[in-house]
Structure 1
């Protein structure tokens, strides 16, 4: 199939902006809990009325401090309550937020704040303030810097206390859906990150259709409120979509968790008790592997592996039933499933808070068997697909018919088209309006409203999309971080001893590299150090040589954030050559061929690295 459309369930309103939901929620159900906020280690409920009052007070403070309608303001922080508060306060006065990854280097921060012309920036702590301080003389528009951990919110609220609430209301009613809400920078394949212009209407089209279509996920019953603990970075479009969807639904209790480290995340999941989580495949992999390791430590590995197999078979039988291709789990399988539910699955769910029933996964591909395992264990993970340019999800698996191993059907209001060369094209209300200050890149991406994604894919007869590869070579780690390999490779290659460097890490937990040596340079290096000449096999094991290459890797890592840095590398004995089919005639790396040839070496990087 070449094209598939799902009609919209909700159409974007003709007037207003994203902040209106905060005020509507408070007017309609003031006592409804809409957020959970952790203060001194304890979770406190925040009602719709309380949140509106805080948004209003902060919006007045921003106005009092000189932020104006249409101004752009950077937000550099981990995922925490204040981020959502700032987002909606900025949107209340018609300002635009510019998210900055908290791990960004000074150079990256300088580029984003300069390109966007940000007039102010909210940072989390002193380290962030210093990162910006290092480049502030190159940012003539940036006149204000607020630091959360230094009491910025209280100061701003106090500063704006003299203003009337209606000053904010006047700003708010002037906002139209086609106004820019946020500018999110993507990792560019070449050169600088590009600023995606996302409008209020883009988020409305995206979030409102998702909340409506995935009703079982977002639905609250009396006494059983839907809730989600958000631990994705809010600088990423997936996290922002969740934030906006939760507030717009008006019934979901939204919590924030700044750390993905299991030691901090697991206790918070247990305390917050979310009913659904949104994560990248890496998080689901970690949950599975840590459960398996635990079983192995207590001598119950055999039982765990059997339980996993039963979960997968059970979910597969249910999948066949949903699609009308099978009767569902048989009596024996149902019995085994019940037994393991008490012994294994329930314990795993308990570790995640005990109420978790749904997950949404995006950012990179999830293994079919992993999806089946979670579904069999009582947590259905809906895998989806999208880009910053499509305001997060463009496709996702529907609740009643999840096809594991695919990224689902178009979300309501979206069309997926497969071009002649296999590229995935998208059309819908959530497609961005272009890149900031970059008409050339905008023209390459948008064609009469259609977004050419650069991803390759196939549609099956029922409109389920499977992503098969990427036209260009951006790597996406299993943590959902997009990494452009070229700048890193070039920097490593700049070292005299290095001939070539290939960065790997697609759907892997981190970035790693394969490095080849320049024989002449190495021979010279050995002579200069009074070392005997060595065979390639011996060279690969030489500690001094490894230290030299490590220096090149460390130098390359200074260009990028932590999540994009090369964690481990392997020096190869032989070079990549055209004869072996690993280089093009113009000596460009043939990545797929290299990854295939060196499968074992790459595997070793992730198993010993």
Structure 2
């Protein structure tokens, strides 16, 4: 390794126990405080105390034992984020069975692959539509015994069966589970190929949950800590955040409806927000569009400029006196209203899952909401590093969590070592040996580490574009800037083995219309109209020029096409974590790439 950095363990946290023990120890500390909150059918927030939620987990675990579930059995959950998901997850793992998450958007073919690869014997689905998906593949999975439907009383069914299992039998099952046992098999979302099952142990989660809480005490510890979790629990990061909350003092709110997320923020009043960059971009764009033109628009634009200037000054250690005065004025006039979008109590936000544009980070930092960018992978239970609440550096992904080591290999690849590194890839020993050597997980990302341990991502080995002229281009930075536009939904930069760099761009119809309206322009009805609209095209041209200004001419986007379609999970062009499937997209739009952009019939890149 060329460079290595480890954040020492300075807090006295235990690495022993299981995922169940994270919950049981929290309940022992604060049995009657609110642990899990959710909205009922009327839209009102309801609460489980720690004691009540642990009792629910016990009932579900007893019911599973009564249904014949044994240690080592694989049980899948296919549902939106909910308290049922969380309770089932811990109940399954508490008795040594393995939780296998399946995205509700997965196709029947993907479901069959996961169910068979993980030898799943039982599946919990949310509703009839998902049950039908699983029923379609039942003849391909002879080991699949039962399908339970949450909307048809699966929770109540397990609670009824619970009476057949004694407390002593449950405790004996819990006692047979060790930290070294597998807790879950999580299938990667597959942006670059067929999903692989990542084997994660109880110790993996226990270690990084307790390390995370110790590393971020301002977020995890103390009275009144609240998180509203709306990411899909099939994603390892969302599942980790459950355990992070339980390891600390955080009340966990659960929601799955992104259409009501702003209202949910305002009613739940989180103290910190966890989201992908796109959420923060949308909040910024919405605030800008709401200000509109005229005096209000001028005030907002000036306030945004002052916020960014203040943030740059804060990061550099010197804020000019005039900027400080203007910042104080705009805090009352503009910034407080923006923070009220998140409920008015938010102190920090954590951003991950994709590169964060620095202009967005500086804006939110300037209005009083530091965006603490972090980084992780399924193979390390999600997080491995994050910016601290004090002394954070915008433009980096922070420092390693306590007890986690990062290193830069000779080829520039970032590597991670800690007790959170997965056991391996299910049924793929050759891939395990390739990706994990001497305890170091090879991430596939290129990066650097400064003298204080702050890590920066510079690109991705497999996504690195090498043009026909031999120029190495990392697409992430260009894509991130283009996607800050209020009209752009997705941007995929291409050009590997091509004469120049180009891009495929899609439009967010709803946001584009809001932007057109705020600019006094006529809205459009379809994506076909949007991609030919001269005002929208001018905005796309502006943001592409902005992206190109950050790189050399050889790395710049020379041509682009605005597509009259979307990249979605449903059409197979986005992963469930909203990452573009580059290879699939290049294959799907090969004609446009080869003929309209490059003008020749070239081999597929």
Matched, 1:451 2:447: no
Partner of 1:253: 251
CA distance in 1, matches of 2:226, 2:325: 31
Structure 2 equivalent of residue 276 of structure 1: 272
Q: Secondary structure at the match of 2:84?
A: helix
CA distance in 2: counterparts of 1:439 and 1:275, whole angstroms? 42
Change (3 A) 1:556 1:295: closer
Q: Any residues of structure 2 matched to 1:308-347 within 5 Å, and which? A: 308-321=304-317, 328-347=318-337
Shift of 1:505: 7.6
Within the candidate set 358, 366, 370, 2:356 is matched to 366
Q: Which residue in the other structure is 2:410 paired with?
A: 420
Task: Give the Cα–Cα distance (whole angstroms) in 1 for the partners of residues 109 and 320 of structure 2.
Answer: 59
Alpha-carbon spacing, 1:312–1:436, altered in 2? closer, same or farther (3 Å): same
Task: Say if 1:57 and 1:160, in contact at 8 Å, map to a contact too.
Answer: yes
Which secondary structure state, in structure 1, belongs to the residue aligned with residue 425 of structure 2?
Answer: coil
With normalisation by structure 1, the TM-score equals 0.78
Cα distance change, pair 12–218 in 1 and its aligned pair in 2 (3 A): closer
Q: Equivalents in 1 of 2:404, 2:75: separation in Å?
A: 30
Q: SS where residue 81 of structure 2 aligns?
A: coil
- The residue aligned with 1:230 is 229
The answer to whether the 8 Å contact 1:366/1:383 transfers is yes
Match of 2:523 in 1: none
Structure 1 gaps, min length 5? 322-327, 490-501, 511-548, 590-609
CA–CA separation in structure 1 for the residues paired with 2:92 and 2:293: 50
Q: How far did residue 219 of structure 1 move?
A: 2.4
Residues 558 and 336 (structure 1), Cα distance of their counterparts in 2 relative to 1, 3 Å cut: closer
Tell me, in whole angstroms, the C-alpha distance in 2 between the residues paired with 1:188 and 1:353: 35
SS at match of 2:258: coil
Distance 1:157 1:173 in 2: 21
Name the count of aligned residue pairs. 517
Supply the distance in 1 between the matched residues of 2:237 and 2:155 (Cα, whole angstroms). 25
Q: Is the 1:15–1:175 Cα contact (8 Å) retained in structure 2?
A: no
CA contact (8 A) 1:13 1:177 kept: no
Which residue of the partner structure matches residue 520 of structure 2?
none
Does the 8 A contact of 2:38 with 2:255 survive in 1?
no
Shift of 1:28: 3.0
- Displacement, 1:50? 0.6
Between the aligned partners of 1:144 and 1:555, the Cα distance in structure 2 is 27
Q: Does 1:92 align with 2:113?
A: no
For 2:100 and 2:22, locate their aligned partners in 1 and report how far apart those are by CA, in whole Å. Answer: 21
Note closer, same or farther for the CA distance 1:210–1:561 as it changes in structure 2 (3 Å cut): closer
Q: C-alpha separation between the residues in 1 aligned to 2:596 and 2:570? A: 21
Distance 2:572 2:332 in 1: 49
Provide the residue aligned with 2:105 in structure 1: 103
1:416 to partner: Cα distance: 1.1
Contact kept in structure 1, 2:76 and 2:99, CA below 8 Å? yes
Partner residue in 1 for 2:291: 295
Cα deviation code 1:123-151 (max 9, x no counterpart): 11111111111111111111111111111
Would the alpha carbon gap of residues 98 and 11 (structure 1) be closer, same or farther in structure 2, given more than 3 Å must change? farther
Alignment correspondent of 1:515: none
Asked if 1 retains the 8 angstrom alpha-carbon contact of 2:216 and 2:389, the reply is yes
8 Å contact 1:345–1:378 — kept in the other structure? yes
Question: Post-superposition shift, 1:189?
Answer: 6.1
| Partner residue, 2:499 | none
**What is the root-mean-square deviation in Å for CA atoms of aligned residues?**
3.4
CA distance in structure 2 between the aligned counterparts of 1:229 and 1:412, rounded to whole angstroms: 24
Distance 2:504 2:453 in 1: 31
Find the partner of 1:557 among 561, 571, 575: 571
Whether contact under 8 Å (1:189, 1:473) holds in the other structure is no
Match of 1:187 among 179, 186, 189: 189
Measured in 1, the distance between the counterparts of 2:178 and 2:12 equals 15
Contact 2:417 2:441 in 1 (8 A): yes
Report the Cα offset of residue 561 of structure 1.
6.4
Partner of 1:166: 168
* Change in CA separation of 1:291 and 1:554 when aligned onto 2, cut-off 3 Å: closer
